[in-house]
């Protein structure tokens, strides 16, 4: 079946343009791009020159924030932030502009090696076979080079196309299943694929019926909103790419543990304005999962027939299930301390920015890389929300120096050197906009333990950077690697036939310790999606006198399915431990709020994988990390 891109005009008498082209025109008019050069080196230097000065938070100093590490500078970061292109996979692409596609990382066949599902949502162009335009499943064959083989047809996934994907164990049988969506489909664009445990998938007929699947479905997120141990889903209505159209309802879907879903009617989370990405997370630590939504896709007709993207707000839907047993959501951005923050929000990433054991949030959007801080409109700045520990959040993006870097689609927190501090990676490009502000070839901010963070040499994604970004350890060396879905060549005249999935292996040589954690839910969902894992560990830090001293540190990470942009990270959590680090205590806050504490024996304190099985009888229900 051919899925045609929906196209409308940006200007009354202009040529036919897509929504992405309209957004490009808008950003050009907004004078986001002030340089004629696309040179990456020049952009990097310009961005570094516009950094703000270090700003101390209340009660802190810029010499080193409480809980932060100092890096082991005996091993400098190599070029491209230490990441090396390992392999590429070509995907079909529209001949006029790049497409929006995600990627999911999981061990689909139980062999202990990470594999990747790649979405492809484009039309089958003249001369392009179905085999070149289908969604793909790549199986890693192992080895230090991370070589892959395509197994799409053998896995039963050949033929359909998708734009967004989330991986999770829908039927609690111990393997990763898939939920996909295709934003080009006006109806029926949601699919469910069950895994038999060997990496062979079967589509579940009408698992999400036409009435329950939103029109033009975009992002997919998985989580358990009613604490019944079965994964539910939230699928955002990306909406028809047409100006002045009605905002279609998004869908909260309740899973029954067999791969089938029912629509939750009047859940209160149906109508964020033109959502791009949504994620589940217990943001107020009350024992149920809330929903955070990034919105970016509203178009209106302006004077003279000009179609303009409109800034839309962040939504945080607070779940009341833990209070009254009803799955009911209410937008409460004021209660979370964020308030009305409008922009062109395109991703969500969770991490611990300051090592205080509280989960923080990064949200990226259009950005202002080539402008000074004073010249960057608030509506285009990225946000870094620090968790205050009382259920509220404060934006510290300006202090961290990450507010005005280039255009974002995908984003993730990743400890690139296993130093114990979580760094930030973003990618993105707006097709057909030939300006430095639109090209983000893989921006990497190293979290040095004080503000601002250090801007490193960009990833080798290329000037045709992309959308979906997923993180996981491809070669099982303890360092997390990155996979990016790119647009492919889109500089006018745009006539490329393929986009590319780029596999970037982490080659950093800092020789720091690490610990991997995998959860097995028993009364929670099998993957523990929605859980937070806090680690307390001992490591060595270099003091101002250049002497090393042993210290106790902590950090937290979360198990998430559906984040970044249209993508899903590996469910195995990797903690960096720093120099000679030893993990001591793990604390798991399960999705239902129950707490479980595990003291690690000596043999499992570094460079090990630890499996934590939920103990439903002994887990304690209380608010976390107070």
- List pLDDT tens digits, range 325-344: 889 999 999 999 999 999 99
Write out pLDDT tens, residues 60-100: 333 333 333 445 555 677 788 889 888 776 665 444 345 78
pLDDT, position 544 = 59
- Distance between CA atoms of residues 486 and 99, nearest Å: 8
Do residue 191 and residue 93 come from a single domain? yes
Return all residues near 489 (Cβ < 8 A) that are at least 6 apart.
Answer: 464, 496
**In the 8-state DSSP scheme, what is residue 283?**
T
* 230, two tokens: 């079965």
Residue where one domain finishes, among candidates 455, 474, 506:
506
| 601 and 502 within one domain | no
* pLDDT score recorded for residue 420: 93
Gap between the Cα atoms of 528 and 282, Å rounded: 13
Mean pLDDT, the chain, whole residue set: 81
Dihedral sign from CA coordinates of 138, 573, 164, 267: positive
| Rounded Cα distance, 351 and 365, in Å | 18
Sign of CA dihedral 207, 209, 213, 216: positive
Q: Residue 297: which of 617, 20, 624, 583 has the closest Cα?
A: 20
What CA–CA distance (Å, rounded) separates 286 from 107? 31
Q: CA 193 to CA 251: how far, in whole Å?
A: 18
How confident is the model at residue 71, as a pLDDT? Answer: 56
Beta pairing class for 201-203 and 217-223: unpaired
**C-alpha to C-alpha distance for 414 and 469, rounded to whole angstroms:** 12
Share of the chain above pLDDT 70, in %: 75
> Which residues, in sequence order, are CB contacts of 260 under 8 Å at separation 6+?
192, 204, 206, 207
Q: Looking at the structure, tell me whether residues 178 and 270 fall in a common domain.
A: yes
pLDDT higher than 90, residue 144: no
Q: Are 354 and 554 a contacting pair, CB within 8 Å?
A: no
Last residue of a domain, one of 484, 506, 528: 506
Pick from 3-12, 167-176, 380-389, 470-479: least confident: 3-12
Does residue 519 share a domain with residue 413? no
* Confidence class for position 153, pLDDT limits 50, 70, 90: very high
C-alpha atoms less than 13 angstroms from C-alpha of 605 in its C-beta half-sphere: 17
Could you tell me if 482 and 544 lie in one domain? no
One domain, residues 484 and 565: no
Nearest to 62 by CA among 453, 599, 408, 497: 453
Assess if residue 57 is contained within a domain: no
Which strand (E) or helix (H) includes residue 325? Answer: none
- Pair 588, 596: CB distance under 8 Å: yes
Note the pLDDT of residue 374: 67
Domain membership flag for residue 323: yes
Residue 375, SS3 per DSSP: helix
Residue 461 is predicted with a pLDDT of 80
Give the residue with greater pLDDT, 493 vs 485: 485
Confirm whether 579 is domain-assigned: yes
pTM: 0.87
354 lies in some domain: yes
Domain CATH for 383:
2.130.10.130
Task: Assess if residue 77 is contained within a domain.
Answer: no
Locate all alpha helices (DSSP H) within 245-342, ordered by sequence: 321-324
What is the domain extent for residue 604?
513-613
Q: Is the pLDDT of residue 309 over 90?
A: no
Give me the CATH number covering residue 587: 2.60.40
In this structure, the answer to whether residues 424 and 529 fall within a common structural domain is: no
- Phi, psi for 267 (deg, rounded to 5): -75, -20
Tokens matching residue 70: 């100092």
CB neighbours (10 Å) of residue 384? 27
Apex CA 593: angle with CA 589 and CA 596, to 5°? Answer: 40
Dist CA 107 CA 206 (whole Å): 26
**C-beta separation of 498 from 91 below 8 A:** yes
pLDDT the model gives residue 100:
81
Q: Are residues 297 and 222 in the same domain?
A: yes
Look at strands 513-520 and 608-613 and give their pairing: parallel
Q: Tell me, yes or no, whether 37 lies in a domain.
A: no
Q: Which of 164, 169, 134 is nearest to 234 (CA)?
A: 164
User: What is the rounded CA–CA span in Å between residue 97 and residue 412?
Assistant: 25
Residues sharing a CB contact under 8 Å with residue 460, sequence separation 6 or more, in sequence order:
80, 83, 84, 85, 441, 442, 502, 504
What does the block give as tokens for 358?
């509280």
Judgement on whether residues 185 and 210 belong to the same structural domain of the protein: yes
One domain for residues 413 and 482: yes
Exposed, middle or buried, 536 (CB in 10 Å: 0-12/13-18/19+)? middle
Strand partners, 355: none
Is 70 a domain residue?
Answer: no
Same domain, yes or no, for 438 and 376?
yes
Q: What is the DSSP string of 87-111?
A: EEEEEE--SSS-----EEEE-SSSS
Q: Are strands 83-92 and 498-506 parallel, antiparallel or unpaired?
A: antiparallel
pLDDT higher than 80, residue 245: no
pLDDT for 411: 95
199: tokens are 């990496």
Question: How far apart, in whole angstroms, are the C-alpha atoms of residue 598 and residue 520?
Answer: 14
pLDDT at 387 over 80: yes
Give me the mean pLDDT over the 286-311 stretch: 85
Do 478 and 587 belong together in one domain? no
Identify which has the larger pLDDT, 455 or 19.
455
Average pLDDT over residues 382-395: 96
Structure tokens at 229: 């141990």
pLDDT at 11 over 50: no
Cα–Cα distance for residue pair 2/125, rounded to 1 Å: 9
Give the CA angle between residues 278, 9, 302 to the nearest 5°.
80
End residue of a domain, out of 458, 480, 506: 506
Structural domains of the chain, count: 2
Bridge partners of 483, per DSSP, are: 470, 503
Look at residues 501, 517, 499, 528 and name the one whose alpha carbon lies nearest to residue 583: 517
| Residues 10, 18 contacting (CB under 8 angstroms) | no
**Cα dist. 297→239, 342, 454, 569 in Å?**
8, 12, 31, 24
Q: Is residue 590 part of a domain?
A: yes
Q: Is the pLDDT of residue 7 over 50?
A: no
């Amino acid at each position: 079946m051919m899925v045609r891109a929906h196209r409308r005009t940006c200007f009354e008498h202009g040529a036919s343009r897509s929504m992405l082209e309209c957004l490009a025109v808008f950003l050009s008019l907004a004078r986001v791009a002030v340089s004629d050069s696309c040179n990456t080196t020049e952009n990097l230097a310009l961005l570094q020159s516009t950094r703000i000065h270090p700003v101390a938070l209340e009660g802190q100093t810029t010499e080193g924030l409480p809980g932060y590490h100092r890096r082991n500078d005996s091993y400098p970061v190599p070029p491209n932030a230490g990441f090396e292109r390992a392999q590429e996979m070509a995907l079909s692409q529209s001949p006029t502009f790049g497409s929006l596609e995600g990627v999911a990382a999981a061990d689909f066949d139980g062999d202990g090696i990470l594999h990747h599902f790649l979405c492809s949502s484009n039309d089958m162009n003249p001369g392009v076979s179905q085999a070149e335009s289908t969604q793909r499943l790549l199986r890693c064959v192992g080895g230090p080079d991370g070589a892959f083989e395509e197994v799409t047809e053998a896995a039963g996934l050949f033929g359909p196309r998708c734009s967004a994907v989330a991986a999770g164990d829908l039927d609690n049988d111990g393997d990763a299943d898939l939920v996909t969506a295709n934003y080009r489909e006006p109806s029926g664009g949601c699919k469910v694929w069950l895994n038999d445990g060997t990496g062979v998938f079967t589509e579940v007929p009408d698992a999400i019926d036409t009435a329950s699947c939103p029109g033009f479905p975009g992002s997919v997120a998985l989580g358990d909103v009613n604490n019944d141990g079965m994964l539910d889903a939230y699928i955002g209505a990306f909406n028809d790419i047409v100006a002045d159209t009605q905002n279609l309802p998004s869908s909260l879907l309740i899973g029954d543990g067999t791969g089938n879903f029912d629509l939750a009617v009047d859940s209160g989370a149906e109508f964020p304005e033109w959502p791009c990405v949504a994620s589940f997370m217990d943001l107020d630590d009350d024992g149920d999962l809330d929903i955070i939504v990034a919105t970016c896709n509203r178009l209106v007709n302006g004077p003279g027939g000009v179609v303009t993207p409109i800034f839309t707000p962040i939504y945080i839907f607070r779940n009341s299930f833990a209070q009254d047993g009803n799955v009911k959501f209410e937008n409460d951005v004021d209660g979370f301390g964020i308030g009305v923050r409008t922009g062109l929000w395109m991703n969500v990433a969770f991490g611990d920015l300051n090592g205080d054991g509280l989960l923080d949030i990064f949200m990226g959007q259009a950005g202002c890389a080539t402008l000074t801080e004073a010249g960057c409109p608030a509506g285009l700045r990225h946000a870094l929300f620090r968790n205050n520990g009382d259920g509220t959040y404060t934006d510290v993006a300006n202090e961290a120096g990450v507010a005005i870097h280039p255009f974002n689609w995908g984003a993730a927190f990743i400890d690139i050197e296993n130093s114990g501090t979580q760094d930030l990676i973003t990618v993105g490009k707006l097709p057909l906009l030939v300006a430095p502000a639109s090209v983000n070839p893989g921006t990497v901010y190293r979290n040095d333990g004080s503000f601002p963070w250090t801007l490193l040499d960009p990833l080798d994604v290329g000037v045709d950077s992309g959308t979906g970004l997923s993180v996981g350890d491809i070669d099982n060396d303890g360092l997390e690697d990155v996979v990016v879905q790119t647009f492919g060549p889109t500089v006018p005249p745009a006539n490329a036939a393929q986009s590319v999935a780029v596999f970037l292996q982490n080659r950093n040589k800092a020789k720091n310790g690490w610990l991997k954690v995998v959860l097995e839910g028993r009364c929670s969902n099998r993957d523990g999606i929605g859980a937070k894992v806090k680690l307390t560990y001992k490591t060595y830090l270099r003091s101002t006198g250049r002497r090393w001293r042993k210290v106790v540190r902590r950090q937290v990470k979360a198990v998430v399915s559906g984040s970044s942009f249209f993508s899903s990270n590996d469910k195995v959590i990797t903690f960096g431990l720093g120099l000679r680090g030893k993990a001591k205590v793990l604390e798991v806050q399960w999705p239902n709020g129950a707490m479980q504490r595990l003291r690690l024996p000596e043999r499992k304190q570094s460079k090990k994988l630890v499996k934590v099985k939920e103990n439903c009888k002994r887990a304690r229900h209380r608010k976390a990390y107070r």
